[in-house]
Amino acid sequence: MRSMLKYIKGYEVQAVLAPLLKMMEASFELIVPIVMKWIIDIGISNGDQTYILHKGALIVLLGVIGLICSVTAQYFAARAAVGFSTKLRQQLFEHIESLGFSEMDSVGIPTLMTRMTGDVNQVQAGLNMLLRLFMRSPVIIIGAIFLSFSIDVPSALVFLGSTVVLAVAIFMIMYTGVPLYRKVQGHLDLILTLARENLTGARVIRAFNKQKEMAATFKREHDTLTDMQLYVGRIMASMGPLTYVMVNIGTILILWVGGVRVQSGDLTTGAVVALVSYMAQILIELIKLSNLIINLTRGIAGGKRVEAIFAIEPKMKKNTPEKSEPDTDISDTDISDTETYDTATSKPAAPDAAHVRFDHVSLSYYDDGEEALSDISFSAKSGETIGIIGGTGSGKSSLVNLIPRFYDATEGRVSIRGKDVREWPLTDLRACIGMVMQRSVLFKGTVRENLKWGNSAATDEALWEALRLAQAETFVREKKGGLDAAVEQGGRNLSGGQKQRLCIARALVRKPEILILDDSASALDYATDLRLRSALAGLEYKPTIFIVAQRTSAVRGADQILVLDNGAVVGMGKHDVLLETCPLYSEIDRSQRGGADANL
């Protein structure tokens, strides 16, 4: 947890003052019963009305100061806790942004989401509570015990005993109850799943006439939930009555011992009244303290989970600019510098030279894990189209993901324009690649904003051109607002095919040197797909194109087709050649053309 202390920076003053001010308020609160004791023992006994008025005014004054202290403290605590979590969240977001694909894969997006939202909020709540209560409650509890000892030792022993018993009772109930609550929560999640499934599967359920059975399952599980809730409820329901009984038994004992001590002249009536007041105060603070501890443990647990995310170092070095002659005094290489350096040669010198080249490339996602790609070698000339085909898990996506360096090859090297991708500044490398991923992802905003991801400087004309090439012009024109048409989060308001075409357009806006289509035309109908492919073939800037596909029809026109099986290249060449030489390819082709079912 220590590493997170740095986020409190800028709020140190508030973080220190908040508990101190709370402590002051608590001290004033503790003085009030003493003042009342004076009123009873001195004011009333002497019949001194002025004294009573003065002391009464003192109580009001204590209240006013207490209020000021505590309101200020609450503000400081809120400020510090929220400021802390705001910074933490921002840093966490940026850290997550910096993680590479392999780290993202191993942690998983849902986990990261929870860390960013629920866990950070828990840390915030824990810190806020801590700042507000960690001085107050203990000060009141310890202070009250201390003061009771200063008033009268035998009564104070009763007092101390009751406090200990109370504390034990409260913490025991909390510690049995709270984990049970968590279990209930778990079962509630199951109820949620059932409710959701009943909707997502409504068609299947009705097709099989299983409505009654589903309802019966739901009832059964919900009855279990209700039983669990009642069980936990029984435990927690005892908390109030139990503590009430204990506090009042303490009060009875104090009244009795007090009576004996007053009789012998060792104690005043006012002192007994003060002791009874302290008893009531202690109960409230004990309950608060147990809440604080629970919140704190949650906050700490959340904090540890957040810390674990920070501990993940992006394995990939982002920027290792190649310097043949080491510059003596510039240790931090300016990125913009290398940018000009690299993009100066915007096209490879020799048109025949390999544009993208794989040299004995192997990739495993985990250390000692199975190889997703093994010993891949090929080279693509500038402007060529490379088709990549194979079954699920054959390594098609892995292969193209190596080009923009989403992952680093475990062995061998991938080079672009003759230079190892690991030696490219990452931003420059990715800037010259247009990537269309398998899952079409669009962002909340307008069509224009989404397209400009490809190139923030693109003119409307360029955007329309890209849309036209991606076969998306017609439907965007038909949309209200055209380029300014709204795109909802995740592109919910668009069909699968529309999303795919916008994603393709987004990549084209960039006029990329290398265009990668990772199985990204699956939702297009045959005719649209065909038009798209011929548009891509006619691009005047002649990018090198990689097409990952499931069907041979999508790659049959490619200059080179790589057939992957289990991470290895089992065939390479043009369509006609592969039909002859590569059994897997011809099998795929036959199955898609319907040759496999001659038995019907």
**Footprint of other proteins on 146-185 (CB under 8 A):** none
Find the part of the chain contacting other proteins (CB under 8 A) among 155-163, 336-344, 478-486, 591-599: 591-599
Rule CB under 8 A: say whether 392 interacts with other proteins. yes
* Lookup: tokens for 240: 């109030």
Q: Which of residues 188-227 bind other proteins (CB under 8 A)?
A: 188, 191-204, 206-212, 214-215, 218-219, 222-223, 225-226
Q: Which of residues 517-546 bind other proteins (CB under 8 A)?
A: 519, 522-523, 525-527, 529-530, 533-534, 536-537
Q: Which of residues 324-343 bind other proteins (CB under 8 A)?
A: none
Closest of 455, 524, 443 to residue 486, by C-alpha? 443
Distance from C-alpha of 249 to C-alpha of 341, rounded to nearest angstrom: 84
Q: Are 543 and 403 in contact (CB under 8 A)?
A: no
Q: Minimal distance in Å, beta carbon 345 to other proteins? A: 20
E runs forming strands in 208-315: none
Our CB check for other proteins shows the closer of 433 and 483 to be 433
DSSP result, 17-32:
HHHHHHHHHHHHHHHH
Q: Are 292 and 130 in contact (CB under 8 A)?
A: yes
Find the part of the chain contacting other proteins (CB under 8 A) among 268-276, 330-338, 373-381, 471-479: 268-276
Rule CB under 8 A: say whether 457 interacts with other proteins. no
Our CB check for other proteins shows the closer of 423 and 565 to be 565
The residue within the footprint of other proteins, chosen from 404, 543, 571, 573 (CB under 8 A), is 404
The one-letter amino acid code at 556 reads R
Q: Are 22 and 69 in contact (CB under 8 A)?
A: yes
Site string for other proteins, 422-451 (x = CB under 8 A): -----x--xx-x-x-x---x-xx-------
Our CB check for other proteins shows the closer of 56 and 348 to be 56
Q: Which of residues 126-145 bind other proteins (CB under 8 A)?
A: 128, 132
Rule CB under 8 A: say whether 60 interacts with other proteins. yes
Rule CB under 8 A: say whether 20 interacts with other proteins. no
Our CB check for other proteins shows the closer of 377 and 581 to be 581
Query: Reduced to 3 states, what is the DSSP secondary structure of residue 486?
Result: strand
The CA-atom distances, in angstroms, between 182 and each of 179, 190, 300, 558 are 5, 13, 17, 57
Q: Which of residues 298-317 bind other proteins (CB under 8 A)?
A: none
Q: What is the DSSP letter of 376?
A: E
Q: Which of residues 479-498 bind other proteins (CB under 8 A)?
A: 489-490, 495, 497
Q: Are 153 and 40 in contact (CB under 8 A)?
A: no
Q: Which of residues 340-359 bind other proteins (CB under 8 A)?
A: none
**Within a 10 A sphere around the Cβ of 71, how many other Cβ atoms?**
12
Residues 6+ apart with CB under 8 A from 446: 481, 483, 484, 485, 486, 487
The residue within the footprint of other proteins, chosen from 348, 453, 485, 493 (CB under 8 A), is 453
Residues 6+ apart with CB under 8 A from 334: none
Our CB check for other proteins shows the closer of 358 and 518 to be 518
Closest of 388, 481, 496 to residue 441, by C-alpha? 496
Closest of 100, 81, 80, 97 to residue 14, by C-alpha? 80
The residue within the footprint of other proteins, chosen from 19, 66, 299, 543 (CB under 8 A), is 66
Distance from C-alpha of 295 to C-alpha of 130, rounded to nearest angstrom: 9
Which residue bears the tokens 């505590």? 70
The residue within the footprint of other proteins, chosen from 27, 102, 277, 446 (CB under 8 A), is 277
Q: Minimal distance in Å, beta carbon 493 to other proteins? A: 13
Closest of 399, 327, 344 to residue 562, by C-alpha? 399
Rule CB under 8 A: say whether 576 interacts with other proteins. no
Our CB check for other proteins shows the closer of 411 and 553 to be 553
Q: Are 524 and 497 in contact (CB under 8 A)?
A: yes
Site string for other proteins, 235-264 (x = CB under 8 A): --xx-xxx-xx--xx-xx--xx-xxx-xxx
**How many residues sit close enough to other proteins to count as binding (CB under 8 A)?**
164
The number of CA neighbours under 13 Å toward the Cβ of 177 is 19
Four-CA torsion 183, 184, 188, 194, nearest 10 degrees? 70
Residues 6+ apart with CB under 8 A from 101: 401, 406, 407
Q: Minimal distance in Å, beta carbon 66 to other proteins? A: 7
Q: Minimal distance in Å, beta carbon 325 to other proteins? A: 28
Q: Which of residues 25-54 bind other proteins (CB under 8 A)?
A: 25, 29, 32, 36, 39-40, 43-44, 47-49, 52-53
Q: Which of residues 82-111 bind other proteins (CB under 8 A)?
A: 82-83, 85-86, 89-90, 93-94, 96-99, 101, 104, 109
The residue within the footprint of other proteins, chosen from 291, 362, 493, 592 (CB under 8 A), is 592
The one-letter amino acid code at 12 reads E
Q: Minimal distance in Å, beta carbon 86 to other proteins? A: 4
Distance from C-alpha of 312 to C-alpha of 319, rounded to nearest angstrom: 18
Q: Minimal distance in Å, beta carbon 473 to other proteins? A: 18
Find the part of the chain contacting other proteins (CB under 8 A) among 140-148, 271-279, 327-335, 468-476: 271-279
Q: Minimal distance in Å, beta carbon 82 to other proteins? A: 5
Distance from C-alpha of 11 to C-alpha of 33, rounded to nearest angstrom: 35
The residue within the footprint of other proteins, chosen from 34, 63, 165, 172 (CB under 8 A), is 63
Residues 6+ apart with CB under 8 A from 469: 504, 505, 508, 532, 535, 536, 539
